[in-house]
Chains A and B, each alone.
Chain A
Amino acid sequence: MLGYLARRLAASVLILLGVSIVTFGLTFMIPADPVAMIAGRNSTPQMREQIREQLGMNKPVPEQYARYLGRLVTGDLGISYARKSEVAPLIASRLPPTLLLMLGAIIAELLIGIPAGIYAATRRGRFGDKAAMTLSFLSVSTPQFVLGLTLLYLFAYLWNWFPLGGYGKLSNLVLPALTLGLAGGGWYSRMMRSSMIEVLRNDYIRTARAKGMSEWRVVMKHGFRNAILPIVAMIGLDVGIFMSGVVVVENVFGWPGIGQLMWQAIQSLDIPVIMGVTIVAACFIVLGNLIADLVSPLIDPRIRLR
């Protein structure tokens, strides 16, 4: 187990290194010049050359990358081109809202997906099943910006149940977490449904029914505990899916997280911020995958980590 963990951590470092190389390389392949964006439209060629020199951009690309990496290992993500302030504290200040939103989304998707899946499984082939699966199909396929704006219009503007975007109170969290989590809820309802149907076919379920146990107790006591396992193992992977979703959802709801920061940085070609957010997000995705793998054997003893 410890050996497995050490190997996985070593592999994670390699993955992050790869991410940093690819991202760094991509910023040089964009046919645009960040110096032109910094220097502004009144700049002379000499001024642009000066800035290039100050930023070390006149050096060969591998050397620039080596310098970047050298700073990165000390936790220094550089200085933002647009803000002229340090990137690391900037990201640190934007990270808690994003993590909170993800937590909210995970809760939302479980609260939606699991009951819907159980409901559909117990009414297999009947109207309730079909209705639940149609809804899950809809929630999986609706683009997040459409869903977000629709929820805002209905629940915040027309009916006043929640605030129109913003951050700070629990009521602010509900709609964005729902927008981010609804698609996941759709997936989970399908997974939960098939997992439950499979479990309910087992002999011990038949035995439980034969003992005269109520259907509710059969499903919740014997079925649920076994059917939920594959879903728990999936939650870690959601982190990766949500990391891309937050860019859209945070922008629709005015949620001050790293997704919003990333979107603004891309618009102004603020490369140090783009690099920083990418690497921090990659760290969380790698961590989420690692947790998912570590949790699996705890849930299903047949899985062994080697």
Chain B
Amino acid sequence: MKKLLISAVAAIALMAAAPLAMADAPKQGGQATITFNNDLTTLDPQVGYDWQNWSVIKSIFDGLMDYKPGTTELEPDLAESYTVSDDGLTYTFKLRDGVKFHNGRPMTSADVKYSFERAVNPATQSPGGGYFGMIAGYDDVAGGKATTLSGIETPDDKTVIFKLTRPDATFLHLMAINFGYVVPKEEVEKAGADWGKKPVGTGAFKFVEWVPGQSIKLERNKDYYKANTPYLDGITFEFGQDPTVAVLRLKKGEIDIVGDGIPPAQFAELMADAANKDLIAEGDQLHTGYVTMNVTQPPFDNVKVRQAVNMAINKDRIVRLINNRAAPASQALPPAMPGYNPDNKGYAYDPEGAKKLLAEAGVGEITTELYVMNVDPNPRIAQAIQQDLAAVGIKAEIRSLAQAEVIAAGGAGKAPMIWSGGMAWIADFPDPANFYYGILGCAGAVEGGWNWSRYCNKALDERATKADAMVKDDQKDARIAEWKAVFDDVLKDAPWAPIFNEKRFTYHSERLGGDPALFTDPIHIPVNYDYIYAKDAQ
């Protein structure tokens, strides 16, 4: 949870739909070593929710749906096919034949049902159980009144039927999210409290061992249902590796990927070195960094003040401040997200215009506070914002605190302004809905919620819910158009000042091959381990 917080999923604009073209399929074999600073917390798919364990879990487990490697395009995974009823309330999945857990037992529909119930059961304390609120019977299980979801039926071993209480266009994305990954009940029960340390899934890699604080080893699942996947025979994750030291080790050929990314202090030097041209993969993320303004308190209850803040901040300068590891943002949605409006340029940098707006607002001298997480580069960014605001006459004092404290201040509605860096929203799945309800909708504008602006526009909430009820294939475009309109209206109300969209850079060794998109996979963060290969095995 150090850098990107609880993590998630991101997307690559260019690669959005193009399947990976590989001239000739790589051969299987070889090993890869990936370093992380922090040990993993857990490999329990219903619990793990940080950017480190996210993609390791994806390599050990599977869900009903998945995305084409390196893209944000959905495709069936453990499900072979699915059908949706006309009212959008019933989804029927046919499971694939021949899928086995790593313990050798064939996976069945009962396992699917068990896994979703496990995610929703409050005893699991899953941070993602709430995503499945549209499945019938959710309230009873989440409320502790039942342990089985009445909305999941398993007429035979190969069929799973989901009954929903409301149509929801994001449902198939939710079938691809880690929290719904299929786990074998007998192994979960046998391991008890240690389940997160000895995972058994159906995925491309099989768990071998975990030496606490030191390493995790995975080996190729020879029974994986996808032929010739994965390529690597094994992966070792080494922990406790400071990224600065990891870069040195990579240069010496001891390791293959710096899992934490390139440290800011070494970034310029590594990028300038021509030898690294093919070793540093660059990709976009489904990320937006923003400044929230609490709309329930003066002076930010005045829309003109919020718009003035948007115009006062020089985003280009902030992007330069972080070595161009981001692009200036015009709106809440990142460019790679469906619903992003390329025609909406947002608020241009215009300090004079901002001053004029402030004068019109007639709020007099503004003194406020800007909360920020105390890890570089965030305090530096906050200082740049502070200077920009001072130039138009807004005095902002910086409150630099630990991550959990900023989150608590935001959740309590106590912070007038928050710079989201280090806690910013990265989508869990590539759909605009995931960028709305929790952080801009009324649902999140509560005590302990993540809508730190406390922006609650009931009319927009209604339009959003209506858009998500459009589940048919031929409604897709109309739905996205409606989301685009919702986000355009959000921007007019300006509860946020969007600042930039972060890019991701992955530094890997010469001996690893694979499409650059795999090294900055929008879904498997940071790397899609299933499809990269070792050149020395070729």
Contacts and interface: CB of A to CB of B under 8 A. Distances in A.
Interface residues of B, number: 60
B302 interface: no
Interface string A156-176: 110000001111100000000
B213 A260 contact: yes
B114 to A, nearest CB: 18
Nearest to B192: A85
Interface string B33-44: 000011101101
Given A47-B142, A152-B248, A269 B242 contact: no
B252 A40 contact: no
A260 B239 CA distance: 10
Interface string A258-269: 001100100111
Interface residues of A, number: 56
B447 interface: yes
Nearest to A97: B213
Contacts of A254: 238-242, 245
Interface in A63-112: 79, 82-86, 90, 93-94, 97
A31 B194 CA distance: 31
B140 to A, nearest CB: 13
A171 to B, nearest CB: 14
A34 to B, nearest CB: 8
A94 B213 contact: yes
B248 A153 contact: yes
Interface stretch (A48-56, A116-124, A187-195, A223-231): A48-56
Contact of A164 (B1, B254, B428, B443): B254
B240 A165 contact: yes
Contacts of A1: none
A43 B124 CA distance: 13
B264 interface: no
B27 interface: no
Interface string B446-468: 11111000000000000000000
A37 B402 CA distance: 13
Contacts of B248: 152-153, 156-157, 164
A149 interface: yes
Contact of B450 (A33, A41, A79): A41
B253 to A, nearest CB: 11
B131 interface: yes
Contacts of B211: 256
Interface string B210-250: 01111000000000000000000000001111101100110
Contact of B196 (A39, A84, A165): A84
A90 B438 contact: no
A281 interface: no
Tell me which of A32, A40, A251, A260 has the highest count of chain B C-beta atoms within 10 A of its own C-beta: A40
B199 interface: no
Given A48-B448, A83-B41, A164-B245, A36 B130 contact: no
Nearest to B406: A32
A257 interface: yes
Contacts of B240: 165, 167, 250-251, 253-256, 260
Given A32-B408, A254-B242, A93 B39 contact: no
Tell me which of B6, B39, B405, B448 has the highest count of chain A C-beta atoms within 10 A of its own C-beta: B448
A42 interface: yes
Given A33-B411, A47-B130, A84-B42, A256 B239 contact: yes
Nearest to B193: A85
Given A83-B42, A85-B193, A268 B125 contact: no
A51 B125 contact: yes
A277 to B, nearest CB: 13
Contact of B448 (A45, A93, A255): A45
B123 interface: yes
Interface in B110-156: 122-123, 125, 127-131, 142-144
Contacts, number: 154
Contacts of A205: none
Interface string A191-225: 00000000000000000000000000000000000
B407 interface: yes
A180 to B, nearest CB: 15
Nearest to A37: B404
A83 B196 contact: yes
A86 B195 CA distance: 12
Contact of B213 (A34, A156, A157, A261): A261
B2 interface: yes
A252 interface: yes
A30 interface: yes
B403 interface: yes
B242 A251 contact: yes
B407 to A, nearest CB: 6
Given A33-B411, A45-B448, A165-B242, A38 B125 contact: yes
A84 B239 contact: no
A32 B197 CA distance: 28
B448 A84 contact: no
A50 B213 contact: no
Contacts of B425: 41
B507 interface: no
A44 interface: yes
B212 A164 contact: no
A44 B441 CA distance: 13
A32 B402 contact: yes
B450 to A, nearest CB: 5
Interface in A234-290: 250-257, 260-261, 264, 267-269
A46 B143 CA distance: 9
Nearest to A145: B242
Interface in B398-439: 401-405, 407-409, 411, 425, 428, 438
By Cβ-Cβ distance, the 3 closest A-B pairs, closest first, are A40-B127, A256-B213, A254-B240
Given A94-B212, A251-B37, 14 more contacts: A30-B405, A32-B404, A32-B407, A37-B1, A39-B125, A45-B448, A47-B130, A51-B125, A85-B193, A157-B251, A165-B249, A254-B240, A256-B211, A256-B212
Interface of A: 30-48, 50-51, 54, 79, 82-86, 90, 93-94, 97, 149, 152-153, 156-157, 164-168, 250-257, 260-261, 264, 267-269
